[in-house]
Structures are given as C-alpha cells and as structure tokens.
Structure 1
Amino acid sequence: MIDNSVRTLFLLKHSPYPPMGGAPLRNWQNIKAMMQLGEVAVFSVSSYKSPRSREYPPGVSLWKDYSTGDILKERSLIRKISDRLWWMRLYGYPEADQFYGDRVAQELQRLLVEFAPNIVVFEEIWLYRYLKIIKPYGCCLIYDAHNIEKSLRRDISVSEHKPPFVSSLSGIKTAIIEGYLVQQVDQIWVCSQQEAHLLQKLYRQIPPTHIVANGVNIADYHSDRISHSLPTDGLEPNHFTAIFTATFSYYPNSVAAQILIGQIYPQLRKFYPNCRLILAGHSPTPYMKESAQEDSGIIVTGKASDIRPYLTAASVVIVPLLKGGGTRLKILEAFAAHRPVVSTTKGAEGLNVRDGEHLLIRDKVEDIVAGVCQLWSDSSLGRKLAESAYKLVQQEYSSTAVRQQVEQAVLQLLPSDFRF
C-alpha cells in the first residue's frame, strides 16, 4: 500500500523550541502549520553562539540537533585549510561553511532513510551544502526565505565597519549561494509580496514563489493569559514606558538599540523625565548593558523566555530599524498585544499597514520622538491605532491565516493523490 500522507523535514539553523526571536518564531509557526498536514521531523544545526535548548519540540516526530561547536572540533586538517581558503572556492563562505560537517551529513542521511520525507524545507540559505545529501532522495524542496539575502547583505555592508574588499566579497558570495539555492529548489516561501518581487528582480527565472506571511497566535497575547506573570523588578507601573524587542546579535537590531539609547531616549527624557526604555531580547551588546547600569530608566532584559509580559509593561513599541530585512514579528506581536507602534518605513517593510491607521511611520529621530510623545499625550490616538492594528492581525497575520497560506502552497507542490 502506498502511503500518500505528507511527511516534512525541516532543516534549520536554530534550535526549534522554545522559539525565541524572529527566525525561530517563523520556523515554529511553519512547523505547526505542516503538522496539520502530516508528520514533521526537524534537523537543526545551530551556531554555538546561539541559545540552545534540549526541550523536545512538542508534536515533532523526530528531532536531531547539532552545534557548529561540535563541527569545529571534528574538522580535519584538510577541512581547516579549505575553510581558511574560502574566498578561493566558488561557493565557499564562512557563514555557510560553519554549519557543514561530515558526521552531521551522515546523520542527515540516516534520518532521510528513517523518516522518508516527501518535503524538505530549508530555513534561509546557510545550510545549502546539505543539498547534495538530500537531492538523491527525490524530495520536494522548499526554500523558506526569511530575508532576501543579497539585498540584506548590501544594506548591512553600508553600515558595517569592515574593509571594502571584505564587504564586497561577502556580498558576492552571498549572492552566489542564494542564486544557487533558488535554482535548486521546487518552491520558495517569502514573507511578503514586496520580497517576492525583489527576488524575481534579482534572479529572474525562479521556481513558483508563495507568500507565507509571519503570523501570531492572537489568543496568546490576551491580557488575561499573561497578567499573572508580569515582571516586577524595575517595572513598577509607569505609563511612559517604551519598548523595543529584538535579537540583538542581529546587526541592524543592535544599531537600532544604539539609536534608541543614544538619541531617542535622551530626547524623550526632556519631555518626560520619568520615562523608561525597555530593550527586551537575548544577546544584548556591551553598550546596552553599560547604558542600563548607568541609567535606571534603561532596562535590558537579556534572554527572556517570554517577551509578552514586557510588552504588557510598555505603553508604546518603537521600531527604529534603518537597515536589514527580517520577519517583522516584533510589530505583529505589538499589534496582537494592543500596543501602539511607532516605526520607521524599513521597520514596517512588507507589512500591509498604513501610516495613521495601524501605526505611526516616522523615519527621522526627531519625528520618532514626536510620535511617541503624541501617543503618550493622546491616549485616544493610541487606542484607535491599536484597535485597527489588532483587526489587521486577525484578518491577515493570524496563525489561522498562515496555516491556510502554507496549505495552499503545499497543494500546488505535491501530486494530486496526496492526502492531508
């Protein structure tokens, strides 16, 4: 008897559970969506610098987890030399090379035989070297593009303090790897229509591309679900509290935090001397930690297993991103939590939002400050924006809406005799 049920393997560069930060949250939403269609296995190779968890992902049939630290220890002399000479190899690039190991590849082969997936989903481009292991098994391949990496690399290189040669070579290598993966897969998922157009513009002939937006489980953000776990240390009730949630190891987020601390927060203090700034998320920079030690009004949470209590403690969410791509989940979480948002154009890029209806879009520091002050002085405006934003999340960015998008994409990928 032929088994026509859907069996999906996710290849991830983050531990899948519990999801913390934009990329892991997107991975977990897609894993849960595919669980509705059949069994799911996860093969993760996470950076030794990233938070790791040994908590088994609920509902996942099989999970194998490895670290780049383990790979680093097992490298042969030839491999070490090859890695050092990455710039001489067409597809060589340290950010991708670190995730590939021969023993890990052998374990992946065993999993492919044991689980026998008919779909394999690649998170981002950096695990592309495992394609040669997966290809012979005849699986349908999906590239889940959290970012358009070529464009992102170009944006970041402008702000990074690296020699021009290094930045240029990094951009070239990123484009080569992304272009290779795009041509090898059967389907691509992107976060927005804007990114679909950009991918088409950059690589011309690409496989069928589907919008799988980022979403949130709205019920998780209802106040009665999180009020019992509100943080207390340094977070006594204060209406004039702003928050920025992020993974601060991501360069554009660390730049945004620096702008908040060095420019936006000091100006807000001129109008509201008792205001507070919460920077919530793991991998805070030394500058962030030092600033929090020097000023009690700046609160840096560090790794937080649950960001929702901090959202509840704030009255305004600020997203002062100037560069980068990303999943935009920080804004969707704010919308689901009924928190008004002041964002740059880049921060809200790809979301179907309108300035003055769902949030305030402000691109200059002084305009961001004015927007926050406007919300703090006019609570009715904050309520109006929050209500419109909440309705938008319900309609377009709920977990239910995302599941429907995933199902439609898979329906067009698999033969008609597969059953869900």
Structure 2
Amino acid sequence: MTTSSIRTLFITKEVPYPPVGGASLRTWQNINIMMKFGPVAVFSASNWTPKSTSLPGVELWKHSNFAKQRSNWENLESRLWWLNSRRHPDADWAYTKTAAQELDETLIKFQPDVVILEEVWLYPYLSVVKKHKCHIIFDNHNVEASLWQQRYHAVQGLKSKLKAKIQLDHLKSIESDFTKQVSQVWVCSEDDVSLINKFYGQVSPTHVVPNGINVAHYDCVRSSEYSPETGLENTKRNVLFLGQLSYSPNTVAAELLINQIYPRLRELYPDSRLLLVGRSPTQFMLDAAKRSPGIIVTGSVPDVRPYLAAASVMLVPLLQGGGTRLKIVEAFAAGCPVVSTAKGAEGINAEDGEHLLIREVEELVAGVCQIWTDPFLGEKLARSAYELVQAEYSWEAVSCKVKKAIHKLF
C-alpha cells in the first residue's frame, strides 16, 4: 500500500468543523493532513444535530445524535458507571448502542485502512473498531489522568473527594487500556510522552503530533488587514483570553483574570479591556461583564480573528491543564504578543523573552505592562513567535511528523 491510497476514518466527539475550540482545531488539523494520504471519512457523536450534511473535503460523514437515541435503560445504566472500572461518566456521555451500530455500518461501508479515535472519551467505541481489519490510532489530546489528578487535589468535601477519586481511578484504567490496545498513540508534545510513560509505562508506539494551525488563515491579522470586532477598534489596551470557558482549567484562569489580574491592570490603565472569547461562559463571567463595562464576554464566535485583531496582548494565566495550548499558537500566527504562566506555555517549544513572556501569576500584570510600555519588545516577541510557529506548528510542519508515523504503520 502506498501512502497516497490510505483510507482514514476519524471518530470524533462533537462536530469537527467549523473548529470552535482546541479539541476541534486539533481534530480538523489531523483530518486535513490525512487527506494528503487518501480519502477521509468522519463519524461524529454529540447531543445535537448539525444543519450541514457534509464536511469540506471529507468523502463520507456520519453524525450520530445520541441525545435522541439513548434509551431509558441506558440512562439508568450510565448512573451505575462506578460499578465498572472501565466506565466513566464523560466517556459514557458520547456513547449509545445505536451510535455504536451506526459506527459499525460506517466501518463496513467505508472500509478504512486507519481509524483515528480523537480523545480518550471515545474509548467505548474501541471495541467496535477492533472487530474490523484496520490500524487503530489513539490521538490523546491530553494525558487526561494527569489533568484529572491536578483537579482532584482541589476538590473539597469527603463525598466529592470520594467521587473524584473513583472517577480518577476509572480514567486511569480506561486510558491505560486504550494506550495498550492500539497500533499507535499520538500526543501533543514530549512532555506528554513523559507523562504517558510515568502513568502507564511501556505502551504502543507513541508519536508526537504537535497542535498546529493553518498559519495562512491568520496572515490577514498579522498584516493588520483584518478589522477588529466592532466596538473594539481602539486596540491599544485590549487583553485577550481565548478558549472554551466552561473547560475547568480555562474557568479557573478566567476567574483569576476577573478577580485579580484585570482589576490591577484597570488601576494602571483605566482604558484597558478584558476580552473573554469562547463558548459556554459561566454565570460568574456573565455577571462580571454586567458589573464592569471593561469586561467583554462573547460566548461562541464564528471566527476568533476579529478578536485577535483587536488584542494588543494575549494573557494566558493557566494553573492547570494538559496538551499544548492552541490559543498561544494562534496568537503566534496572528502576530499577537503573549504573556503566560509556565503551565500555560507547557509543551510549546518557546523561550521566555524570545517568543513570549513567561511569568508567575503575581508577575503577569508587570509582563503586560512591559509590552504596553515597550512596543519594540512586543514586535520582537511577535516576529520570533511567528518564525517558530511556521517552523514547528504549521500544518506543513506537523504533516512531516504525521508522515513519519504513518510510514511506520505500513
């Protein structure tokens, strides 16, 4: 078999296009890269039905709305997840027996050579794929056990602590079994390779497939040809935080911005604004925006580029998380200077003072002020960051990594 005739089926949680967050950005990247090797099909499962019936460049797309399929018995059974070490509520969320049957029919119809399961939460579908003759790749967006372990330490109360401990143990069991039953495991960075080895020891061949982006998509922002979002045209003091705001690490970061960081910035620069851009903002964020006209919470947006165009700096005060932050890679491509915690910049081959500013939480405000008071520093960081994203995090650069992994499969 040549690498120009490989048929690839992706199994995804949620609809991968248009990309609306880190997970779908990574999935859409991988779909576009695998199109270079041959026809691509997608099986997606979520609790809603998209209006579109096709995905750009995808030969076959089957979407399953499990919210309409789940039987009363399955609803009851899902509440008893804790009785089975290979069950987890977040993995059960995207699974129904009807969807599994539809996946089986899709596999028979498309006859893939490679099946790529995006995220650990699709583990329940692994048994369906295993019945078919194909190579299986587990694309682990985060080493989820590590991420959940970070959250576990913050859980308060005996009952909540016990529930979190059971969930963590089950997740470790699922993730460990997943990594051992597939042909390859893909992760976002060398940091994740180390975490996989730490948690699960020797597993299937593990390949680093970085989170990348279509750099050309952001060229219009970097060249200042793209118009900022209406009302945000005065871009000198706009601070941007980007991501799915209900995702726990992003929620913690956004609350830190609202409670501590932005009030200090506002004292120094009364005209500064905080842009929280992403789907599913919490009620706390919405209430903060009502109280303060300088805080803008958008909810889901069709295109993040108008907000990147409006931003003078991206601020990433993450204290927990995994994988690599596509929000930073997007800022690099758009020519937007970045100030981040070390956790936020984790997994990205970027150097403090060269591509971005890495600061402790209490130093983040000072980092933003550095960029605002020294335009040449912001320009230098943006220029170096753009060169880095082209070399290591563009779709072209990531394609080379994928090509090596695929060659090893065949």
TM-score (norm: length of structure 2): 0.95
Distance (whole Å) between structure 2 residues aligned to residue 142 and residue 4 of structure 1: 18
Inter-CA distance 55–390: structure 2 relative to 1 (3 Å threshold)? farther
Aligned pairs for 1:78-227 within 5 A: 79-160=74-155, 163-223=160-220, 227=225
Aligned-partner residue type, residue 68 of structure 1:
F
For the aligned residue pairs, the C-alpha RMSD in angstroms reads 1.9
Aligned-partner residue type, residue 25 of structure 1:
L
SS at match of 1:393: helix
Aligned-partner residue type, residue 297 of structure 2:
V
Aligned to 2:69: 71
Aligned to 1:259: 256
Are 2:22 and 1:26 aligned? no
Distance (whole Å) between structure 2 residues aligned to residue 349 and residue 309 of structure 1: 26
Distance (whole Å) between structure 2 residues aligned to residue 156 and residue 324 of structure 1: 9
Are 2:38 and 1:43 aligned? no
Are 2:313 and 1:306 aligned? no
Q: Which has the higher contact order (CA 8 A, sep 6+)?
A: 1
Inter-CA distance 71–160: structure 2 relative to 1 (3 Å threshold)? farther
SS at match of 1:127: helix
Q: CA deviation at 1:230?
A: 3.0
1:282-327, Cα deviation, whole Å (9 max, x unpaired): 1111111111111111111111110011011010000000011144
Q: CA deviation at 1:226?
A: 7.6
Correspondence for 2:394 among 398, 401, 407: 398
Inter-CA distance 3–361: structure 2 relative to 1 (3 Å threshold)? closer
Q: Percent identity?
A: 49
Aligned to 1:373: 369
- Judge conservation of contact 1:13–1:47 (CA < 8 Å) in 2: no
- Judge conservation of contact 2:41–2:61 (CA < 8 Å) in 1: yes
Aligned-partner residue type, residue 22 of structure 1:
G
Distance (whole Å) between structure 2 residues aligned to residue 355 and residue 2 of structure 1: 42
Inter-CA distance 103–172: structure 2 relative to 1 (3 Å threshold)? same
Distance (whole Å) between structure 1 residues aligned to residue 338 and residue 204 of structure 2: 36
1:175-205, Cα deviation, whole Å (9 max, x unpaired): 0110111111010111001111110121112
Distance (whole Å) between structure 2 residues aligned to residue 342 and residue 403 of structure 1: 28
Q: For structure 2, which runs of at least 5 residues remain unmatched after alignment?
A: none
SS at match of 2:372: helix
Distance (whole Å) between structure 2 residues aligned to residue 341 and residue 150 of structure 1: 28
Inter-CA distance 394–80: structure 2 relative to 1 (3 Å threshold)? closer
Which runs of at least 4 in structure 1 moved beyond 6 Å after TM superposition?
Answer: 1-4
SS at match of 1:299: strand
- Judge conservation of contact 1:15–1:53 (CA < 8 Å) in 2: no
Q: CA deviation at 1:98?
A: 2.1
Distance (whole Å) between structure 2 residues aligned to residue 20 and residue 136 of structure 1: 32
Distance (whole Å) between structure 2 residues aligned to residue 125 and residue 323 of structure 1: 18
- Judge conservation of contact 2:138–2:179 (CA < 8 Å) in 1: yes
Aligned pairs for 1:226-305 within 5 A: 227-232=225-230, 234-305=231-302
Distance (whole Å) between structure 2 residues aligned to residue 110 and residue 83 of structure 1: 24
Distance (whole Å) between structure 2 residues aligned to residue 356 and residue 246 of structure 1: 24
- Judge conservation of contact 1:265–1:277 (CA < 8 Å) in 2: yes
Inter-CA distance 331–228: structure 2 relative to 1 (3 Å threshold)? closer
SS at match of 1:6: coil
Are 2:383 and 1:387 aligned? yes
Q: CA deviation at 1:33?
A: 0.2
Distance (whole Å) between structure 1 residues aligned to residue 294 and residue 181 of structure 2: 50
TM-score (norm: length of structure 1): 0.93
Q: CA deviation at 1:238?
A: 3.5
SS at match of 1:63: strand
Distance (whole Å) between structure 2 residues aligned to residue 246 and residue 117 of structure 1: 33
Distance (whole Å) between structure 2 residues aligned to residue 396 and residue 304 of structure 1: 27
1:44-101, Cα deviation, whole Å (9 max, x unpaired): 11245xx9563621000111112331233xx143x33322221111212211112221
- Judge conservation of contact 1:23–1:327 (CA < 8 Å) in 2: no
Distance (whole Å) between structure 2 residues aligned to residue 3 and residue 295 of structure 1: 55
- Judge conservation of contact 2:66–2:99 (CA < 8 Å) in 1: no
The number of residues matched between the two structures is: 407
Aligned-partner residue type, residue 164 of structure 1:
K
Aligned-partner residue type, residue 145 of structure 1:
N
Aligned to 2:318: 321
Distance (whole Å) between structure 2 residues aligned to residue 102 and residue 271 of structure 1: 57
